Chain A
Amino acid sequence: MQRTGNRLGVAKILFLGLFLVIGGRAIQLQILQGDKLMRLGERQHLKEWIVLPKRGALFDRTGEPLALSMESHSVYARPHRIHDPDKMSQALSRILNMRAAEVKEKLTAKKPFVWIRRQVSSAEAEKIQVLNAEGIGMFYEPKRYYPQGQLAGQLIGFVGRDSEGLEGVELKYNDYIRGETGSWVAQRDALGRRVLVQGVEGLHIPPGSDIHLTLDTSIQHMAEKELEASILKYRAKAGVAIVVEPFTGEVLALANYPSFDPNNYTKHSAEQRRNRAVTDSFEPGSTFKTVLAAAALEEGVVGKDDLFYCEMGKYSYAGKIIHDTHPHGWLPFSKILQVSSNIGFTKVAEKLKKDRFFRYIEKFGFGQITGIDVPGEVSGLLRRPEKWSAIDLATHAFGQGLSATPMQLVMAYAAIANGGFLMRPYVMRRAVGPAGETLLENQPHVARRVISEKTATLLSSILQDVTTEGGTGFMANVDGFDVAGKTGTAQKADPVHGGYAAKKRVASFVGFVPAHSPRLVALVLIDEPEVNVYGGVVAAPVFRNIAQGALRHLAVAPRKAAPIPAAPSRLEPLRQLVKRPTVKAADNGADATPDFVGLSLREALEKAQSLRVKVRLQGNGYVVKQTPAAGDRWHEEGVLVLSLQG
Chain B
Amino acid sequence: MASAAGARTRVARDLKRERSAHKDRPRRRGFFAIILGVGLIGLVWLHVWLRLQVVHMGYVLSTTSKLQHRLEQENRELKIELAMMTSPDRLESLARRRLGLQQPEKGQVIVLP
Contacts and interface: CB of A to CB of B under 8 A. Distances in A.
B18 interface: no
B102 A565 contact: no
Contacts of A558: 111
Interface stretch (B7-15, B28-36, B58-66): B58-66
Nearest to B112: A557
Contacts of A70: 73, 76-77, 80
A576 B61 contact: no
B4 interface: no
Contacts of B100: 578-580, 583
Contacts of A556: 111
Nearest to B103: A549
A554 to B, nearest CB: 9
Contacts of A555: 111
Contacts of A565: 105-108
A200 interface: yes
A329 interface: no
Contacts of A221: 88-89, 92
Nearest to B101: A576
A307 interface: no
Interface stretch (A191-199, A297-305, A466-474): A191-199
Contacts of B102: 575-576, 580
A200 B83 CA distance: 32
B29 to A, nearest CB: 21
Contacts of B83: 64-65, 68, 147-148
Interface in A574-622: 575-580, 583
Nearest to A64: B83
A442 interface: no
Contacts of A193: 59, 62
A48 interface: no
B87 A564 contact: no
Contacts of B57: 197
A249 to B, nearest CB: 24
Interface string B70-113: 00010011011001101111001000000111101111111111
B61 A564 contact: no
Nearest to B68: A200
Given A68-B80, A556-B111, A576-B104, A195 B99 contact: no
A557 B99 CA distance: 28
A151 interface: yes
A187 interface: yes
A341 interface: no
B65 A149 contact: no
A201 to B, nearest CB: 11
B67 interface: no
A562 B106 contact: yes
A65 B85 CA distance: 12
A479 interface: yes
A69 interface: yes
B38 interface: no
A145 interface: yes
Interface in A144-182: 145, 147-149, 151
A564 B62 contact: no
B54 interface: yes
Contacts of A122: 77
B43 interface: no
A93 interface: no
Which of A561, A576, A578, A583 neighbours the largest number of chain B CB atoms within 10 Å of its CB? A576
A194 B62 contact: yes
A92 B79 CA distance: 30
Nearest to B51: A197
A203 interface: yes
A588 B88 CA distance: 26
Contacts of A578: 100
Contact of B88 (A69, A187, A218): A218
A287 interface: no
Nearest to B85: A147
A217 interface: yes
B44 interface: no
A556 B111 CA distance: 7
B84 to A, nearest CB: 5
B60 to A, nearest CB: 9
Contacts of B55: 195, 197
A196 B61 contact: yes
A44 B107 CA distance: 76
B106 A479 contact: yes
B83 to A, nearest CB: 3
A555 B102 CA distance: 19
A196 B62 contact: yes
A5 interface: no
Contacts of B76: 68-70
A145 B111 contact: no
A129 to B, nearest CB: 13
A561 B106 CA distance: 9
A130 to B, nearest CB: 17
25 contacts: A64-B86, A65-B83, A68-B83, A69-B76, A147-B83, A147-B84, A148-B83, A149-B87, A151-B87, A151-B89, A187-B58, A194-B62, A195-B55, A196-B65, A197-B54, A218-B88, A225-B89, A552-B104, A552-B109, A552-B111, A557-B113, A561-B110, A562-B107, A576-B108, A580-B100
Given A197-B55, A200-B61, 18 more contacts: A68-B83, A70-B76, A70-B77, A147-B84, A147-B87, A149-B87, A194-B62, A195-B55, A225-B89, A225-B92, A479-B106, A557-B112, A562-B106, A564-B110, A565-B106, A565-B108, A576-B104, A576-B108
Closest 10 pairs between A and B when the two form their complex, measured CB to CB: A147-B83, A221-B88, A579-B100, A195-B58, A197-B58, A557-B113, A196-B61, A562-B107, A557-B111, A562-B106
